[in-house]
A and B are shown apart, each in its own frame.
Chain A
């Protein structure tokens, strides 16, 4: 597997998760009532690795990444994020969430706050950063996603693409070690997809650990170290992008690629 980045000494790391492992999911099972959504999911994400998760609708992609930052509880197996295992312990969960940024399909910006306030809310109230410093950092990230001039506006005044870039900046303002994306371009008008993908590509170039649920195959080819294909709650195939697109192994993968690539 494609471990590409430097190994850093990390005091938080434990024996269960060596310092170069960002996320380790083992034997994960999850049910919604009687319905089994995830079954026997094993996945190790190395620090700095970029993973693209794809699969048919309802295959459990969102549920999987939402388990990682405990937006969904799971019933069996274990998830260790940056050396901290995700349990029911609220303190641990908050610890994990501080280190994992998440970008949603529907942006989920806070409509009652300006773009700048959206970006400084968590740094000020979770990281206890002084307001001035938080604003400086926010402006830096807003510049990086190329919308510093919109800082004073409210989300409703922005286009979908701009809103999604604000959402990315908002997550980055917490200086997360891992960024997760759940179909970040699916709710966008076609002409805005590119600006968001470009932002994600630039982010990937900084060495950020990324888990992206997306069907943008161009993005996967360009950025991903590995592509994970899910179906019916299971990981069916994991491979490098070249191998995944040129010689898919599993029947379901072939069928899926046939459908989305036409």
Chain B
């Protein structure tokens, strides 16, 4: 104990005279065997679950891969290609069918010569979405203006057409496939975000009438299934507008979706607003900012940022729910598959399965990437990026 200052009080006073030596950290137990034991077979229950999962995978994965890839038919021009034959006695997915019908799945019955308009719409949508989702993008205020104002107007004129600028008018009855699915989902987002913000603010308002109306709307819509809202919009909307301006089927469905999505968005935004400390409001008010400026400059930028993962999760749900517009007679992506799979030219035992597998893969990929994005943002927010 050379560190201890010698002397009669050495048992109470202490002055370090030599620095503590640097000692290497004891090695961790390592190796693949250790990892397996620690992660897969730590307890008897763990071991049993591991074996169960392996058996399940053994049982499901190979047949699935066989169907989707190894026994699948990739090319051909008719049902004969996908029927059992000498070379392929038990054919898997008939991807030849999907390839033939692919453009119908994307555009529906939209006229061939005008499909470039849909492609431009897709490009604009991707551009606007990327601008919104990329948090460090330059001029995100411009991005928001583009996404919430320019994109909807331009897309409407582009897709529907307008004789004044020489674009042939395409009736919405001819819209279909992925086009309609994306139109429905993006109108849902574009309308529901601002409306949801207003409803969330209304719900926190000090004015009883505003508060009651907001709560009433939110709770009413959240209390019924989407399909009910869609039917109501389909059936009741024509009652409120003059017959001369009878809204078409797609517009009615869009109104229903927008109403439904707004109520859910309102609740998501409310959670974001609740996460903003009282001090932020007080500091803004003490600086003389009025109510709307305080919201626009101080509260919403922070509240929406922490809300992004939930907004995206909401979007995932909405994206999947768009399949319900099928029931009010809209040709969405799933509906085009429904039509194609009964095509007599491709009548085989695997056609329906292939069609549905294709739909499932498409929905899964889209939702999975949105979900990954939401998780990424969540992690970034958790890491303390409060900008």
Contact = CB atoms under 8 A, between A and B. Distances in A.
7 contacts: A97-B286, A104-B282, A104-B283, A106-B277, A110-B302, A112-B301, A154-B387
B295 interface: no
A71 B294 CA distance: 14
The 9 tightest CB contacts between A and B, nearest first, are A108-B283, A122-B287, A108-B279, A102-B286, A97-B288, A98-B288, A111-B386, A126-B288, A112-B301
A201 B277 CA distance: 30
**Chain A residues touching B, range:** 20 to 34
B280 A125 contact: no
A94 B286 contact: no
A94 B290 contact: yes
B322 to A, nearest CB: 33
B288 A174 contact: yes
Interface in B143-191: none
B288 A110 contact: no
Contacts, number: 64
Given A112-B305, A112-B387, A71 B282 contact: yes
B132 interface: no
A126 B305 contact: no
Interface of B: 277, 279-280, 282-290, 293, 297-298, 301-302, 305, 384, 386-387
A71 B301 CA distance: 22
Interface of A: 69, 71, 90, 94, 97-98, 100-102, 104, 106, 108-112, 121-122, 125-126, 154, 156, 170-171, 174
A71 B286 contact: yes
Q: Is the interface of B mostly helix, strand, loop or mixed?
A: helix
B283 A110 contact: yes
Nearest to B305: A112
Given A69-B286, A104-B283, A110 B298 contact: yes
A106 B279 CA distance: 8
Contact of A122 (B289, B384, B387): B289
Given A108-B282, A112-B305, A170-B287, A125 B387 contact: no
B287 A126 contact: yes
Contacts of B302: 110-112
B209 to A, nearest CB: 19
Contacts of A110: 280, 283-284, 298, 302
Given A106-B279, A110-B280, A111-B302, A97 B387 contact: no
B386 A112 contact: yes
A122 B283 CA distance: 11
Nearest to B384: A156
* Residue of A94, A102, A112, A174 most packed against chain B (CB within 10 A): A112
Given A125-B293, A156-B384, A108 B280 contact: yes
A98 B287 CA distance: 6
Contacts of A170: 287
A106 B286 CA distance: 14
A184 to B, nearest CB: 13
Contacts of A125: 289, 293, 297
B287 A174 contact: yes
Nearest to B286: A102
A104 B305 contact: no
B288 A122 contact: yes
Contact of B386 (A71, A102, A156, A171): A156
A121 B280 CA distance: 13
